[in-house]
């Protein structure tokens, strides 16, 4: 198999497209080698390396109907098609991006004809929409953009990101070769120097720093992930010690964020850390999630599941849920053990669709502390928890992340969860269920 060179994240404006939107657009643009057009309407948010545009609607231009040969012999979007899309952009407060394709593979740029048509059309279009307007030109492996901002300035698009089984980063030209860090020599032989550089530049959140999360932090830090956002409100208890990676017996009573931070710095002194010793539903934690490239969900409260699920669909940030279930009946009978690693992608079925969030439990989680205690007047029996089982799921999750961001998965697409059943010594894959009417994740699947 030929290695496809991965592009490390680029600073500046980016456009993120849900996998399904990208699949529809690719089918439209790249089937027959001819020129095709479309419009993407996008939401504007902030991100770790600059402003982000989030693809919310794809409007395909019909060949010969909406995308027609102009007077100069070049194809262009028909005026009425542009007007309708621009009115929709204005009404919904979304950026308007005209899209077309060029020949080529890993390099792409606008032609003189493209640029002069932008200069003729976009000042007026910007007046109509009062939003950002612009254009993106694609090949199947590259993208370039010309953005006209509402404040009258003009800038370029650094990259188009498609978070799927491989996280594609389409840029105007292949990234410069990265220098090899001798410490990571053995890893770079797998990831490539650009793959290792990608890991260094990523911002990754770990929600929950207990038996699963502490292992995830250890693995991410040793891999050389450059920025970690560590979120947990708890302190280490004596019963946590057998499962907290690198914890010492005098750590009882210390915040789990401090223990994870100490361990991450020991693995990689250069790691940048953001520590949030709060629950994930607090505004500061939710804000921090929006500035990440990937989220590991290693907490099992309904609030944590809900807010990570929200971040995935509101900000188009991929996440992985990791959990170990050891069911014990009231009479002590042990059921099947499951160690689950579940990708949550902007275009896949979400945690609500898969009945993994309980609305009543979520409501209780969201109460202030004192009221929450009262609502849970029946004290729960602690569930079993064991380091080796946690590590099985944590390692599966970090392997999936690492291969996705360095584009080493065989398939670019796919969102299946992996279920290990250690008592039966088997594992299988489970595709997410998808409710087409789900208000949370149907936002990522709008087609017009
Ligand atoms: Zn062109
Ligand atoms: Zn859903």
Give burial (CB, 10 Å; 0-12/13-18/19+) of 374.
Answer: exposed
Say how far apart CA 324 and CA 337 lie, in whole Å: 7
Q: What is the chain's alpha carbon radius of gyration, rounded to the nearest angstrom?
A: 23
> Per residue in 150-205, pLDDT tens?
999 999 999 999 999 999 999 999 998 888 899 999 999 999 999 999 999 999 99
Share of the chain above pLDDT 70, in %: 96
Q: Is residue 120 over pLDDT 70?
A: yes
Q: Is residue 55 over pLDDT 80?
A: yes
**Residue limits of CATH 3.40.140.10 in the chain:** 14-170
Give the number of whichever ligand sits closest to the CA of residue 346: 2
Mean pLDDT over 337-349 rounds to 91
Q: Ligand 1 centroid to 101 CA: how many Å?
A: 7
Q: Ligand 1 centroid to 24 CA: how many Å?
A: 20
Confidence at residue 446, expressed as pLDDT on a 0 to 100 scale: 63
pLDDT interval class at 361 (50, 70, 90): confident
> Per residue in 280-314, pLDDT tens?
999 999 999 999 999 999 998 999 999 999 999 99
**Residue limits of CATH 3.40.50.720 in the chain:** 182-430
Which chain residues have CB less than 5 Å from ligand 2, an ion?
A: 350, 352-353, 438, 440-441
Give the number of whichever ligand sits closest to the CA of residue 144: 1
Confidence at residue 348, expressed as pLDDT on a 0 to 100 scale: 81
Q: Is residue 30 over pLDDT 80?
A: yes
Q: Ligand 1 centroid to 115 CA: how many Å?
A: 8
Of 303, 439, 320, which is closest to residue 372 (Cα–Cα)?
A: 303
CATH number of 14-170: 3.40.140.10
Pair 163, 374: CB distance under 8 Å: no
CATH superfamily of 182-430: NAD(P)-binding Rossmann-like Domain (3.40.50.720)
Q: Ligand 2 centroid to 436 CA: how many Å?
A: 8
pLDDT interval class at 364 (50, 70, 90): confident
Say how far apart CA 116 and CA 109 lie, in whole Å: 13
């Amino acid at each position: 198999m030929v290695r496809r060179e991965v592009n490390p994240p680029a600073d500046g404006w980016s456009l993120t497209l849900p996998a399904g939107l990208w699949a529809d657009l690719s089918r439209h643009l790249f089937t027959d080698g001819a020129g095709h057009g479309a419009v993407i309407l996008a939401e504007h948010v902030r991100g770790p390396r600059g402003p982000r545009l989030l693809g919310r609607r794809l409007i395909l231009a019909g060949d010969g109907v909406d995308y027609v040969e102009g007077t100069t012999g070049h194809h262009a979007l028909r005026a009425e098609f542009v007007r309708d899309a621009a009115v929709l952009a204005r009404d919904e407060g979304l950026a308007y991006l005209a899209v077309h394709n060029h020949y080529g593979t890993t390099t792409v740029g606008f032609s003189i004809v493209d640029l002069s048509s932008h200069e003729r059309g976009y000042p007026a279009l910007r007046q109509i929409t009062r939003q950002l307007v612009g254009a993106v030109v694609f090949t199947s492996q590259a993208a370039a953009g010309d953005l006209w901002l509402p404040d009258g300035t003009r800038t370029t698009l650094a990259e188009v990101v498609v978070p799927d089984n491989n996280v594609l980063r389409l840029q105007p030209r292949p990234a410069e070769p990265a220098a090899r860090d001798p410490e990571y020599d053995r890893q770079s032989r797998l990831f490539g120097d650009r793959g290792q550089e990608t890991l260094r530049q990523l911002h990754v959140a770990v929600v929950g720093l207990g038996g699963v999360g502490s292992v995830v932090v250890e693995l991410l830090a040793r891999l050389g992930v450059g920025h970690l956002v560590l979120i947990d409100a708890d302190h280490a208890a004596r019963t946590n010690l057998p499962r907290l990676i690198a914890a010492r017996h005098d750590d009882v009573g210390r915040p789990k964020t401090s223990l994870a931070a100490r361990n991450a710095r020991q693995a990689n002194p250069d790691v940048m850390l953001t520590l949030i010793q709060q629950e994930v539903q607090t505004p500061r934690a939710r804000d921090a999630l929006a500035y990440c490239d990937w989220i590991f969900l290693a907490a099992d409260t309904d609030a944590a599941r809900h807010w990570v699920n929200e971040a995935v669909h509101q900000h188009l940030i991929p996440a992985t849920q990791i959990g170990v279930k050891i069911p014990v009946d009231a009479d002590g009978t042990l059921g099947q053990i499951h160690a689950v690693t579940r990708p949550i992608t902007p275009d896949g079925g979400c945690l609500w669709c898969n009945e993994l969030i309980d609305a009543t439990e979520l409501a209780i989680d969201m109460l202030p502390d004192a009221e929450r205690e009262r609502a849970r007047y029946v004290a729960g029996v602690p569930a079993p928890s064991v380091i080796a089982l946690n590590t099985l799921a944590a390692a599966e999750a970090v392997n999936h992340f690492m291969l996705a961001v360095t584009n080493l998965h065989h398939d670019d697409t796919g969102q299946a969860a992996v279920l290990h059943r250690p008592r039966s010594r088997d594992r299988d894959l489970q595709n997410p269920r998808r409710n087409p009417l789900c208000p949370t994740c149907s936002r990522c699947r709008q087609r017009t």
